[in-house]
Every structure is written in C-alpha cells, then in structure tokens.
Amino acid sequence: MTSPFAASPFDEWLTADPEVARLLGEEAERQSTTLQLIASENFTSPAVLAASGSILTNKYAEGYPGRRYYGGNQIVDEVEDLARERLKALFGAEHANVQPHAGANANLAAYQALLEPGDTILAMRLDHGGHLTHGSPASITSKVWRFVSYGVSAASDDPDKPGEIIDFDQVSDVAKRERPKLIVAGSTAYARIIDPLPFREIADSVGARFMFDAAHPAGLIAGGAHPSPVGVADVVTFTTHKTLRGPRGGAILCSAELAKAVDSAVFPGLQGGPLEHVIAAKAVAFAEAALPSFRTYAAQVVANAAALGESLTTEGFRLVSGGTENHQVLLDLRTFDAELTGKVAQEVLDRAGITCNRNTIPDDPRSPFITSGLRLGSAAQTTAGMGTSEMRTIGTLIGRTLRGRDDDQAIAAIRAEVRDLCVGFPPYPTLAGT
C-alpha cells in the first residue's frame, strides 16, 4: 500500500480484500494530506483504533454487566464496567451508560427516560445551532414529542456587548409560557461556552427536568476548559468522537436516581446488542482524557480556535457572536463577499484540501442546503500537533482560496501548500512507513 500511514494497526490483514484495503489506503492519504477542520471530527489514538478494530466485535452482550441475556460475557462485563467506572471518574458522575451507538441515540434514550410521548421539550432552534434531535421536523424526535424553542440574541456591532449568544430571557419567557417537561441545552454550531447554571435555574422555576447535550464540548469539559454540567443537569448526553477524541459513539451520565430509567431506555428501549469493541475503545479514550496531557490538549484546542478566528477576521470574515470560546469558529461569509454561499465555499475549500462544512448562521436568509456560513473546528488538527501559528496560516489559506475561487491554478498551488503543511503534522506518526 502506498499510504503514508496505516489506516489501522490491522491494515495488513486486509490484504485479503484488496478493494476495501485500497479505499482505506486512499482515505488514510486524504486524512493525512488535507486539513481536517470539521468541528465534529478528531483523530483518535492508535490505541482507540486498535480496540475498536478488535475481536470484541464478535460478542453479543444484550443487557448490562452481570445481567446479560447470553453466556460468555465474563470478560465483556469487565470491559464495560471498566468503561463505566472510568467515565464516572472522569466527570464525577453517579451513573454512566456507555452503550449508545451515537449521540443521536443517547438523546433519544434520555428523552425516553425522562418523558412520556407528547410531552413538551424546550431546546435550541435548529437554525440558531440546535441539533436534528432537538426537534427537527425530519427527526423522529418531533413526531414523538412536542418541541418549542429558544434562540440567540440579535447580532451586534458593539464589541463590549456581543450578540448572537444564548438569550436567557427568551429561554425563561418561553419556559414560563409553554411549561416544558424538559429543557435541553447544547448545540452543534455555537462558538461560546454554554453555562449550565442559568438553564438549571429556569428549569427549576417551571418544574422541568434539564438535559445538557454536550456532544461538542465533552472533551473541553473533561479537560477542564469548560464548566461541567455534571451534577447541574439531570442528564448529560454526549458523543465520544468529537472533542473527547474517542471512537464514534455516544454516552449518558445521570444521577443514581435516574440510572434505571436511563439504562432501560437505552436497552431494551432503543437499541439491541451493544458494540463492545467500541465500548472498549471508549474505555481507552476515557483513560486518555483523564491524563494531564489532555488538559493541555483542551486548552490548546481553545487557543487554536481563537487564533484561527482572529486570522479569519483579518481576512475580512465576520465571526458569528464576535469570537470563539470553544473549538469552533462560525463564519458569516457575507462581509467577505456578499455573493459567496456556504455551499460554494465548502466546495472550493475541498478542492484546496481544506475540509470543513457549510452551516446556517442565525437568521440565515439562505436555505440550510446553501447557507451563508461556514463552520470550522480546531480539535483534529490540534491533535495532530498544530499550534496557533499554523492556525493563522490556515486562516490566510482560507482567505486566499475563497478570493481566488475562480482561478484553478491558484487553487492547485494552495492545495500543494496545504499538503506540505499537513506532512509536517502526521496524525499517526507511530503508524508511518507502511
């Protein structure tokens, strides 16, 4: 194989299937020679790759440790217990469920644990950054529960009073009017810290439960860069593959009081057999996130997003909410070029080897498929070792790419620069040389 690094420690076993092996090699090449700026992605450690590619995939384990429906689960029980104990220790939680196959499943299970069908949920507006599982008409969530929403405040030019941040007056007003059974905090496109305390107060004032969907900031919380919602919210859901840097999956934390309701909502409520190979990989990631080096990582992720944001401001872009406090930079493209859509920007950047996604911005006049925004994230390239100076370079490259978007030669030259930059920061240096 010609890839600059192996796609997994087991690559050589894949020679039995040259077609899939070729595709993995090509994807390995893509991941190591283009910039990964999708805010929900990261590079796992080789140990996480090894566990998720392991023989645990062979085992059926419906149920929970000590209460399985099939035999032969003594070792798998230890694996899942290890994951649960490490996760509880990492966040100081009373109970952990590590079985959700994804963040969406974790949210569905949490709703099912806390609510009856038809109950009202107050969550963030989708076009202001809420997730599909926060009541999108396209999601099963909106067919089972009744969603009402809050959003961010209006945009502002005053640097001392940034706009486009969560409007707690609105959260409170809608909560008093609609009397939700559950209030959900959390977002997929929001560059600010989400403080759990005002949500808790509002939930208490209307007798609602409070769920914090930490899909994006889970790693920043674990690494001490963001305030923890654990112990504040009734239930905390998250993905393990975004800033937490584990395998693709979800998890739920809650109080001992809600443990049974949450566990039975995941299984048998929503899922069948758990993915114990992924749970082993989650255990590895939870141990990694407890290391002092992960605190350094989380702080660097935030510093890198800030540097990227500053550099893009210099290039003429407007940052939604005027800045960033997490791993995300949400760009309003209209100040840079009123004609440029998120869709076109994403496509041109892809050709230059800069991988990111278009995104709606609050009150976007364009459709979610076209958009006026771009969402960037610093988590993956920070894992690969990039710092603030590389982030500033990336900001300049993005500006040049979008200015020169009709010039194929200019784009090809930037693609070569991006490749050179990436080669200095291999995501899997220990797997190199295959």
Ligand X SMILES: *Cc1c(COP(=O)(O)O)cnc(C)c1O
Which active-site residues does the annotation give? 60, 62, 213, 239, 242, 248
Within 32-91, the residues that bind ligand X by CB under 6 A are: 40
Position 340 contacts ligand X (CB under 6 A): no
SS3 of 180, please?
A: coil
For 243-276, give the DSSP string.
TT--SS-EEEEE-GGGHHHHHHHHTTTT-SS--H
CA-based radius of gyration for the chain: 22
- Per residue in 371-393, is it b (16+ CB within 10 Å) or e — as a string? bbbbbbbbbbbbbbebebebbbb
Candidates 77-85, 102-110, 227-235, 324-332; binding stretch for ligand X (CB under 6 A)? 102-110
Q: Based on the shown chain and the rule CB under 6 A, indicate whether residue 8 belongs to the binding site for ligand X.
A: no
Give the residue with the Cβ less far from ligand X, 44 or 239: 239
Mutual angle of helices 388-403 and 292-314, in 10-degree steps: 30
DSSP secondary-structure letter at 291? S
Give the one residue of 59, 68, 84, 131 binding ligand X; rule: CB under 6 A: 131
Q: Are 219 and 264 in contact (CB under 8 A)?
A: no
Output 102 or 413, the one with its CB closest to ligand X. 102
Give least dist CB 38 to ligand X, A: 11
Count of Cβ atoms closer than 10 Å to residue 124 Cβ = 26
| Tokens standing for residue 136 | 């999108």
Per-residue binding letters, 221-260, with ligand X (x by CB under 6 A): ------------------x----------x----------
Q: Does 149 bind ligand X (CB under 6 A)?
A: no
Q: Give the contact letters, 208-227, x = binds to ligand X (CB under 6 A), - = no.
A: -----x-xx-----------
**What is the H or E stretch that residue 185 is in?**
strand 182-185
- Which CB, 149 or 188, lies closer to ligand X? 188
Size of residue set near ligand X by CB under 6 A: 15
Indicate whether 310 belongs to the interface with ligand X (CB under 6 A): no
Query: Letter for the amino acid at 196?
Result: P
Q: Which stretch binds ligand X (CB under 6 A): 185-193, 223-231, 255-263, 273-281?
A: 185-193
Of 102, 144, 303, 413, the residue at the interface with ligand X (CB under 6 A) is: 102
Least Cα distance to 243 among 219, 265, 261 occurs for: 219
